[in-house]
Structure 1
């Protein structure tokens, strides 16, 4: 059933039930945006939607969806359209990682990874861009990773490649949409204090890492939105992460591979 359109812009945020996605939801609600919150955990989405609607006087609604499913983006966009709304801001944040080797888990798990981080993220952007261009404004924020600048090593087999694609795709979209009023930004955070490591089974190892190398989700989002506002396409939040990205880009690749192979071995779980 459709409802009357709100005069407020709508931000559609995937992976909104926790971590960086929830931080984006809080930030956009504080800016006066209505929210379409997408994730699998409906209870968390409903609770966050109710909290932010009450705190900021905006409309917030849950769109429970599993973005690992084929064409899941279409159902998400249909749910938004059914409420008489169009998307003004898209935040492609949903994702996870697989700490085992490529064939150490069933293919269905690797396929779910690609559907979530690549296929349905692209599908959502494909669906909302025409409307943004037609109204002459809009923003797409894609969540990449510092790993986008790194070569692949054992474990997390698809992760660097998927995040590298996110960066290159975002740059291409920004070039294609130049002059339309639609901004595209990809953010590439490093270690962030979220539930990400708990989900992939590396929390115990991550907890041993020095806290000075971690950012909060709120810090990542604040830097990302500031970059989006000024039209910056690629942002690496945090000075230490910026330094790491520079080293990853300019050190000889064989040296980087040797360093990462040694450093990442503890994050590669047994198959």
Structure 2
């Protein structure tokens, strides 16, 4: 561990799992750098954490859909002589509808935020972690990356599957250097995600045992990366789903995915 308080950079920190990470890491004594688009939320969260936990919190608002955003974030960290010990690649969202129902700009922005930005941030921050002999990277993936991709939200499961494989490779490459990497793969989580995609009413029909709170996801994710687990699925129900799907013939798994996805997609997608 660093001699002083570790410093954590959290993307998508303004809501949901990102906010839960900020609160939990502050409890654990981390100084924080928070980034997202919504400055007012970031500033309010930063003020809360400074007052409650006495940690240093820097707000660096940025839009990761901008290809220059990862470098700009790292340049700002360098200007303030800050070294990141924990990278939480959490920023993400869903693009509702079928692949051709959206214009290419929507898909390009999504791929930049979900794939390119977390990959570039890891590439830029890993050398410092390796040099210091300590680091933690959590890539927030999803249970969706372990099961067949549904119709609608076409790129979401694909992007999460990428983060899982990326994390596995990074974990193998860096564990001997003192850097643990984990793909955190939550299932249904109470957050703003389904409000933004307009599917909240349908998602509320899902049974309660299918859901975890953002705080539960975060606590389990932090424990998993500290244990050195390259991939972690929080929740026994979610782990059971992954196991069952893996044991099914592909055609049956695809059929079930198609049937179940209709339950929580909007009809006009």
What TM-score, normalized by structure 2, do the two folds share?
A: 0.96
Matched, 1:66 2:63: yes
Please say if residues 37 and 61 of structure 1, whose CA atoms lie closer than 8 Å, have aligned partners that are also in contact. yes
Matched, 1:157 2:154: yes
Q: What SS class does the counterpart of residue 237 from structure 1 fall into?
A: coil
**Would you say how many aligned residue pairs link Structure 1 and Structure 2?**
266
How far does the alpha carbon of each residue in 1:16-38 deviate from its partner, in whole angstroms, 9 at most, with x for none? 00100000001110111100001
Matched, 1:124 2:126: no
- Pick from 229, 247, 250: which aligns with 2:244? 247
Q: What SS class does the counterpart of residue 151 from structure 1 fall into?
A: coil
Matched, 1:96 2:93: yes
Which moves more between the two structures, 216-225 or 241-250? 241-250
The list of structure 1 runs, each at least 4 consecutive aligned residues, that deviate by more than 6 angstroms after superposition, is: none
Matched, 1:25 2:13: no
Q: What are the residue-to-residue correspondences of 1:233-244 with 2, within 5 Å?
A: 233-244=230-241
Listed as ranges, the gaps of 5+ residues in structure 1 are 1-5
Please say if residues 60 and 73 of structure 2, whose CA atoms lie closer than 8 Å, have aligned partners that are also in contact. yes
Which moves more between the two structures, 248-257 or 261-270? 261-270
Measure the CA separation in 1 of the matches of 2:76 and 2:46. Answer: 16
Q: What's the CA shift for 1:112?
A: 0.8
Measure the CA separation in 2 of the matches of 1:76 and 1:235. Answer: 27
Q: What SS class does the counterpart of residue 37 from structure 1 fall into?
A: strand
Q: What's the CA shift for 1:50?
A: 0.9
How far does the alpha carbon of each residue in 1:109-136 deviate from its partner, in whole angstroms, 9 at most, with x for none? 1111100010011011011000000000
Measure the CA separation in 1 of the matches of 2:108 and 2:9. Answer: 24
Q: What SS class does the counterpart of residue 49 from structure 2 fall into?
A: helix
Measure the CA separation in 2 of the matches of 1:25 and 1:123. Answer: 21
Listed as ranges, the gaps of 5+ residues in structure 2 are none
Matched, 1:83 2:83: no
